[in-house]
Chains A and B, each alone.
Chain A
Amino acid sequence: MLRILKISVLSVVLLFSLISFAFAQDEEDFMREKVISKKNAIVLSALFPGLGQMTKGERVKGMTFFMAEVASIVFSVNAHENYNTKLKIYNRDIKILNKLPSSGTGSYYDAVVRYKDLKDKNDDLDNLNAIRNTALVVAIGVYAFNLVDAIIFSKPTSESMRAENEAKKISVKSTYIGRTPGLLLSKRF
């Protein structure tokens, strides 16, 4: 349980640190004329899904890839750890069941009770195995799709182009008109 908690906390910390890093860089380098080549986007996407897309300015797509990858990895690792922990207990109980006839104090009734308990544990392990594998498939699938997206659909963009795109949107700012506070509604054409 403690291990699951640790993994979850570390995943969340990793997620937030990477997100803040991506956005912080975006604000700092906002006006810098820096061409983001297709190659760089592919390298970033290969490093972790969504990074290339986010750097190019496709934030929604990038975040979707990023979140999907993080979630599926967390699910997969969590299920894998759970599986291994429960497998140890299951193997121990199987040994106890098989040694029951020669224990000198066993009864068939005890064996049946243990057998039913083991069947429940076996079902639990089956479910964990399915979750682990499915999450791993999703993680690899997201990674592959992210790479395909970076290789085939990406076009080179620059920070200044992004800045222009941002500027074309209608913006609302608080300002002073003379000494009177007011709102400034602006749009670049």
Chain B
Amino acid sequence: MSDALVQILEGNTFVVSDDKGDIAASSTDPTGLFSFDTRFLSRWVLTVNGQRLTALSTDDLQYFQARFFLVPGSGTVYVDSKLSIIRLREVADGFHEELRVLNHENDPVDLEIRLEAASDFADLFEVKDALKKKGQYRNEVTGGSLVLRYERDTYARETWISASEPATVDATGLTFHATVPGHGEWATDLDVVASQGMPDGIGEAPVGIRGRRRQVRQDMARGLQKWLQRAPTVDCDWEPLEHIYQRCMTDLAALRFSTLTMPDHALPAAGLPWFMTIFGRDSIFTSLQALPFTSELAETTLRALAERQGTRIDDFRDEDPGRMLHEMRYGEMTAFEERPHSPYYGNADATMLWVVLLDEYERWTGDSKLVHDMEQAARAALAWIDEYADRQGNGYVSYQRRNAKTGLENQCWKDSWDSISYRNGDLPGFPRATCELQGYAYDAKMRAARLARHIWKDAAFADQLEKEAADLKRRFNRDFWIKDGEYFAVALDADGRQVDSLTSNIGHLLWSGIVDSSKAKAVVRHLMSPQMFSGWGVRTLAEGEARYNPIGYHVGTVWPFDNSFIAWGLRRYGFKAEAAAIVAGILEAAEVFDGRLPEAFGGYARSSTRYPVQYPTACSPQAWSTGAPLLLLRAGLGLEPNGDNLIVDPALPKRIGNLELLDLPGRWKRIDAFGRGRIDTDRIVRR
């Protein structure tokens, strides 16, 4: 099979195929038609007269549409075909495929065209971990459709396959006997519908195969067009920026995800295709990044997370009252509680970040109705910080999973096993109080105080929150500060001891505002030092620490998302030129990656590799990498809502030249922002 994988999607339904449009998955091979975290097709192979086909070219027309140009034969020798085959595939509740066979000869030709179909109905988790299925399969031909069915007790899932042209349907596929006239064509429509089956057996065909399908597709195309038209416009002397911006907005459109309870609203899913679901942290960070350009994502994220906010103690799901969810899944293992994702709550940051987003959303949009609607959720979130998140009992937010079997060990954004370490490489015990969590808690309280005072009209609550925040800030600057190194420890361990490695987490502290202004300069000096700043961006872990590895997931790579928040933090403390250096580095990396930033790239010094080295990941685009250039534009232009005005205070890298951001939406309706690059960022960075 060819390595070239093609993926198209809509919401949480997506197809991953080879460059011929075929799916021939093994149990652990991540190809297929997936919907609601379940594989509904693991085999979909086209043959003509028993022969597999060869791809001439493949086009990703839109994120939900792909076209495959094919000819018969193995393709290892010169192709001089008398036939060509075009498959046009579009995703919606499964997929729709238009199959056309063109005869280039003068004489008609008789063909046997076959599509072989099968499904293993694997849960995404099973594809990842190669687990065995526990239920039974049943294939049936019903009213001209092939139905693939899987059932386990009352759980049932079905794939319905039908064609517009007459076909011989058997349990493993559809066969067409076609006569294609000379210089003519033969065509059929194929529909594959993913369906939640009834417990008592195969019933009626699911609604909406043809007819409604066309409507859905038109809506999708129009929806994308409208989304792009509504977005602000970027004009820039540095041409790559316009391309980067277009790429971001299109990818953000593809990452839009609707929940079952709010089908007409979209929030950003975490990544395409394996993380097309709500992730508390990822959806919030991406919504924050995108706020100057669109507030729709933030609004839906706030509502969707509040709807599923924790209300009880559930150790399996690491749920507490007030806690915001980490990840939601719909597959078989979640259904049978073999995985806790219904939803899973094991994160220590999303609850506080949700409050931060609520305030930031109001500052941009002036939508006080949403803030009123969310008052109870916000109060519950704030109560969680004090009542449930202080697991060390010392007034700091810390985490330790209660679900030791399938829960998450590290519940901060750096969630890999070795991400939090002492300088000597040892790993701390649990609970762990990582530093950025204290920053988020501080920011959440300060921002909630503003909402309490001005919108909920509860001055006493506002006073109390501000007092708690001030106390937290005072203690934090005492307990986390490493005096001889002049930076903040990445965490306090279970004994209250400092976990002393130097990490990018200190940049998030600037964003949250928890850093004493007397300490900010030293923090910035570290961030821009050769140990931390690679020339492209700030490394997750400083060079020189025992676990440093320039291609280690959270221990040396550069994360664009991380850097975008660090740049925002640098602006918050007035370090404009340093922020511009990060804006320059990450946007120039984006140029190398043709506009689409990966989740992370290697921490090698820019001077030694010339090009950023991509970290291999399964997901692209990743939501918060997609959002990074948007937040960097905000940081570079110094955009800050202030009442009904938008402050523009540009500090841009020289190379950018003139930058115009037109039609920024917000409480001011629409506004334009201009800036001119004046900062020689090469001089900022010590190399």
Chain B associates with chain A: no
